[in-house]
Amino acid sequence: MTQPTPAPTQASTSPAQFPVAERLAEIVGERHVLSRPSELLVYNSDGLPGYRRQPRLAVFPGTREETVAVVRLLAAEGLSFVPRGAGTGLSGGALADDIVVIGLHRLKKIISLDVANRRATVEPGVVNLRLNKHVAPHGLLYAPDPSSEAACTIGGNVAENAGGPHCLKYGVTLNHVLAITVLLPSGEVVELGSKVGERDGYDLRGAFIGSEGCFGLALDITVKLTPKPQTVRTLLADFTSIDQAAHVTSAIIASGIVPAALEFMDGPTIRVVEDSIYAASYPRDAEAILLIELDGLEAGVSADLEAVRRICLDGGARNVKVARDDAERMKLWQGRKKAFGAMGRLAPHLIVQDAVIPRTRLPEILATIRAISEKYGVVVCNVFHAGDGNLHPNIAYSADDPAESERVHKAMTEIMQACIDAGGSITGEHGVGLDKMGYMEAIFSESSLNAMCELRAVFDPERRSNPGKVVPVHACKEWHAVPGGRLRTGTSSLTDAPEPRPVEAEPSHPSAR
Amino acid sequence: MPGCALAGTPLADALPGINACVHCGFCLQACPTYLTLEDENDSPRGRIFLMRSLLEGTVKPDDPSVQQHIDQCLGCRACEPVCPSGVPYGQLLEATRATLREYRSTPFIARAILFVFAREWLLRPAMFFSRILAATPIPTLLSGIKGRLGFAMAMLASTGRSIERSRYQPVTRGERGSVATLRGCVMDGLFSETNRATRRVLAVNGYAIVAAPGQSCCGALHAHAGDLETARSLARRNIAAFGHSGAEFIAVNAAGCGAIMKEYGHLLKDDAEWHERAASMSARVRDVSELLAAAGPREGGPLPIRVTYDAPCHLEHAQRVTQAPFSVLAAIPGLELVPLHDSDQCCGSAGIYNLIEPETSDAVLAPKLANIRATGAPWVATGNPGCLMQIGAGLIRAEIPARAIHPVDLLDASYAAFGQ
């Protein structure tokens, strides 16, 4: 649509001041380049709006050819950029600090579906749930199912190596991507992986998945599709103590049964979901529930169902309910998957962490989290992938209250430290982005961080794709060896060379909105 | 919020609703303008961000690009039933438009329409003229010309294409209670047969129809455009008229009108004198399909036709009435219901949006028409005058051999086939 846009009345950036904006508009059309600060505001955050970075320009290519042309133009100009999908990420990974955002949400074609070989090739902007709806009539599914599946894109899933409840049994994005056509920041197009199966040589596809937009962007992605299981059963076990639910989780895993999903929600989370339109008839007075899904062949599932029910009851479950039909199953799952969004009912701002801990330490860590939340007087809502020990402590708070923000920040930092001390990692599926960069040096050695920098240099030697994320720049040995550091790549026709700024490491810090 | 830039405005009042948004993005794929325009400024999450930025002072209310993105919202509220945090998006939009009104002028067409609709003495002659025009071949002849005039003519032409039926005299015992019906503006002016059919089918289903003289336009168009004062004064007139009627229920056959009448309590929340009466009236408002579904409804005579159903946004998303229209259609023997893909997506009518933002409206209508064409059904049932005319005009202009019709007209034709 070519809506006539009246001249801006307030201080703003006209395309004439930025020749590159005009040239981008020649590629993608005027409507798909944003340069006015007021229109760029909504692109200053992702799903974790405690972090805000204002981009300089946003460009939304509509085809593969346009995308290649955009990246080549930026390469020729030496401009840095950040690829962005649906902006549902939870680590500040898609934020562009005074550089160009390349929105890939318009690339939403499902290019091909090969039912016999169970694979599909999609553009990066295809929404996860849309792919699943497209393949469902053929008895197939795309297994990785992040809770944001109704909004997030496959391209974003690849960038973050996204997980989801069902990754306990089926594996994460990495296990379901066969091949990627990658557009390197230089503008070169390369094929990583193979649509037909394993090839010899280094697994560069594996390196690209989870690279958080730092290695370039995907033009198309070939994914593996999974046959729908013959039988699916979903159980809801409720407990009057968090500790019991945590021990039952460990007991189920120890029994050797591999559930398709094993999810944990605590009392505050249950109540916030029950207040929302996704109310799933979870018992409001429970202190914890486990949502357990078993799938496979009918005979095996029935046996496992009985075993899991017994473990829950023996472990102190008050009730174990089995969903009667698909409608009830979907309702139980919708409550779980929309829990994050429902936290807005508690307070205007939210931070969430993504630590992974050894599953045997679950009871002890949950007790520690409770103690920390009491110490700082904050309410932690725990809703997480218990089966693989991937915690998601959420704290709802008001960033307008500096004292509260400070307490929340301290509580989150202590929670993360406790997870690290327990032998855990800082992110299971949300990515490092901006949010967790400050913890990188706590869990990786200098030589590991250097190796990461060197790997990145293979894909993006000029560090123009999503600069300032994942690995703190000061941790890179060879970075210090380059005279001018960030200045060199930050220099552009967009702007006078800015002073190189230290990359902020504000772990979990909810900078005031 | 410390240092609110627009203190004392309707938008500042709406801050708790804005604060409920945690930026999760679950609304994006539900939003027709995001899917069409492909810019997050034209999504619920983006517009809420702009609202917050207006309050923070990081964007100014006279910024034309902000105004444009707020204007481009259809107000379909498809984002509300998918929002886990329960953001009252429709109310936020109205508050924003009411606040921005101070900083710019409303487009001429919108001003003219809102001016006429708020004044009975102008509305009646305008509707009379439209009716006369619709009865001539002129709208059909001009319905093909490019642009808004052609579209407006096609809208008029579509109103004369309801289903043929014989007359019957309903007999009622009134055992289900008394009902006053909203006459409405467009419904009264261009769909008067549907209004009569509404009273007949309610009577057949055991409702006693009572008169509610003195009622006016519901005020929905004014509220959506941000003219909350006019909306409130129209609401007060309706509260008085329907209060005086003594009816147990107020039946509305226009989804857009029903939606705002169910929200009169909110509209008049700060009016000490009227708030309570507004809330109690809102509690008695029902879409006609709800009253019919509660009564069964009674089965009619055979009507062997193929019908597809398109949900009006203000019924599906705003009122959350999803199943009742299907109960109405299920009471018609012989009627074959063909499912419509994306029937919960907006058709682009959105009150007077199709006249103010024609290009976006057309872009939103296009997939709707393609989906209707794919059903092959000659009838599209939908319970709102805006949608009836938008889809009706689209069908005429795209030369799709189908007609839009109110579900009540189909039930009425079925009863007529029975001789009640």
Question: Which chain A residues touch B64 with a CB distance below 8 Å?
Answer: 5-9
Let me know whether A162 and A99 are in one domain. no
Let me know whether A366 and A508 are in one domain. yes
Q: Locate tokens 């009227």: which residue?
A: B274
Chain A to chain B Cβ contacts (< 8 Å): 137
CATH number of the domain within which A89 lies? 3.30.43.10
Q: Is residue A8 part of a domain?
A: no
CATH number of the domain within which B311 lies? 3.40.50
Q: Is residue B336 part of a domain?
A: yes
Q: Is the pLDDT of residue A23 over 80?
A: yes
Let me know whether B98 and B16 are in one domain. yes
Over residues B191-234, the pLDDT tens digits come to: 999 999 999 999 999 999 999 999 999 999 999 999 999 999 99
Let me know whether B52 and B158 are in one domain. no
Over residues B347-360, the pLDDT tens digits come to: 999 988 998 899 99
CA atoms of B190 and A162, how far apart (whole Å):
54
Let me know whether A242 and A197 are in one domain. no
Q: Is residue B328 part of a domain?
A: yes
Q: Is residue B190 part of a domain?
A: no
pLDDT in tens, chain B (420 residues): 667 899 999 999 999 999 999 999 999 999 999 999 999 999 999 999 999 999 999 999 999 999 999 999 999 999 999 999 999 999 999 999 999 998 988 888 889 999 999 998 999 999 999 999 999 999 999 999 988 899 999 999 999 888 999 889 898 889 999 999 999 999 999 999 999 999 999 999 999 999 999 999 999 999 999 999 999 999 999 999 999 999 999 999 999 999 999 999 999 999 999 999 999 999 999 999 999 999 999 999 999 999 999 999 999 999 999 999 999 999 999 999 999 999 999 999 998 899 889 999 999 999 999 999 999 999 999 999 999 999 999 999 999 999 999 999 999 999 999 875
Question: Is A277 in contact with B83 (Cβ distance < 8 A)?
Answer: yes
How does DSSP classify residue A297? S
Let me know whether A357 and A482 are in one domain. yes
Q: Is residue A6 part of a domain?
A: no
Question: Is A278 in contact with B84 (Cβ distance < 8 A)?
Answer: yes
Over residues B358-395, the pLDDT tens digits come to: 999 999 999 999 999 999 999 999 999 999 999 999 99
- Tell whether A43 lies on the interface with B, counting CB pairs under 8 A: yes
Element (H, E) at A328: helix A326-337
Let me know whether A217 and A235 are in one domain. no
Q: Is residue B188 part of a domain?
A: no
Q: Is residue A10 part of a domain?
A: no
Let me know whether B316 and B411 are in one domain. yes
CA atoms of B143 and B152, how far apart (whole Å):
8
- Read off the pTM: 0.91
Let me know whether B343 and B408 are in one domain. yes
- Tell whether B23 lies on the interface with A, counting CB pairs under 8 A: yes
Q: Is residue B290 part of a domain?
A: no
Let me know whether B411 and B314 are in one domain. yes
Let me know whether A179 and A128 are in one domain. yes
The B residues from 86 to 115 touching A (CB cutoff 8 Å) are 86-87
If one counts the domains in chain A, the total is 4
Let me know whether A39 and A50 are in one domain. yes
Q: CA–CA distance from A479 to each of A140, A460, A475 (Å)?
A: 46, 13, 8
Let me know whether A150 and A61 are in one domain. no
What confidence category does residue A477 fall into, taking pLDDT thresholds of 50, 70 and 90? low
Let me know whether A466 and A506 are in one domain. yes
SS3 of chain B: CCCCCCCCCHHHHCHHHHHCCCCCCCCHHHCHHHHHHCCHHHCHHHHHHHHHHHHHCCCCCCCHHHHHHHHCCCCCCCCHHHCCCCCCHHHHHHHHHHHHHHHCCCCHHHHHHHHHHCCHHHHHHHHHHHHHHHHCCHHHHHCCCCHHHHHHHHHHHHCCCCCCCCCCCCCCCCCCCEEEECCCCHHHHHCHHHHHHHHHHHHHCCCEEECCCCCCCCCHHHHHCCCHHHHHHHHHHHHHHHHHHCCCEEEECCHHHHHHHCCHHHHCCCCCCCHHHHHHHHCCEEEHHHHHHHCCCCCCCCCCCEEEECCCHHHHHHCCCCCHHHHHHHCCCCCEEECCCCCCCCCCCCCCHHHHCHHHHHHHHHHHHHHHHHHCCCEEECCCHHHHHHHHHHHHHCCCCCEEECHHHHHHHHHHHHCC
CATH number of the domain within which A166 lies? 3.30.465.10
Furthest C-alpha separation in chain A:
71
Let me know whether B73 and B157 are in one domain. no
- Tell whether B72 lies on the interface with A, counting CB pairs under 8 A: yes
CATH number of the domain within which B30 lies? 1.10.1060.10
Question: Which chain A residues touch B22 with a CB distance below 8 Å?
Answer: 49, 340-341, 343-344, 348-350
Let me know whether A43 and A65 are in one domain. yes
- Tell whether A6 lies on the interface with B, counting CB pairs under 8 A: yes
Question: Is A148 in contact with B24 (Cβ distance < 8 A)?
Answer: yes
Boundary residue ending a domain (A44, A77, A103): A103
Q: Is the pLDDT of residue A21 over 60?
A: yes
Domain that holds residue A39: 15-103
What confidence category does residue A16 fall into, taking pLDDT thresholds of 50, 70 and 90? very low
How does DSSP classify residue A106? T
Of B22, B29, B363, which is closest to A341 when you measure between CB atoms?
B22
Question: Is B23 in contact with A45 (Cβ distance < 8 A)?
Answer: yes
Question: Is A277 in contact with B84 (Cβ distance < 8 A)?
Answer: yes
How many Å lie between the alpha carbon of A276 and the closest alpha carbon of chain B?
6
Let me know whether A216 and A137 are in one domain. yes
CATH number of the domain within which A428 lies? 3.30.70.2740
ipTM above 0.95, yes or no: no
Domain that holds residue B355: 153-164+297-418
Q: Is residue A409 part of a domain?
A: yes
Q: Is residue A270 part of a domain?
A: yes
Q: Is residue A199 part of a domain?
A: yes
Let me know whether A490 and A363 are in one domain. yes
Q: Is the pLDDT of residue A442 over 90?
A: no
If one counts the domains in chain B, the total is 2
Boundary residue ending a domain (B85, B103, B121): B103
Q: A259 preceded by cis ω (within 30°)?
A: no
Q: Is residue B230 part of a domain?
A: no
Helix axes of B385-397 and B147-158: crossing angle, nearest 10 degrees? 110
CATH number of the domain within which A320 lies? 3.30.70.2190
Let me know whether B387 and B304 are in one domain. yes
Other CB atoms within 10 A of residue A88 CB: 29
Q: Is residue A7 part of a domain?
A: no
Instruction: Tell me the pairing of strands B208-210 and A189-193.
Output: unpaired
Q: Is residue A366 part of a domain?
A: yes
Let me know whether B157 and B99 are in one domain. no
CA atoms of B19 and B6, how far apart (whole Å):
16
What confidence category does residue A473 fall into, taking pLDDT thresholds of 50, 70 and 90? confident
Question: Which chain A residues touch B41 with a CB distance below 8 Å?
Answer: 34, 39, 42
Boundary residue ending a domain (A212, A227, A242): A227
Strand intervals (E) in A297-348: 319-322
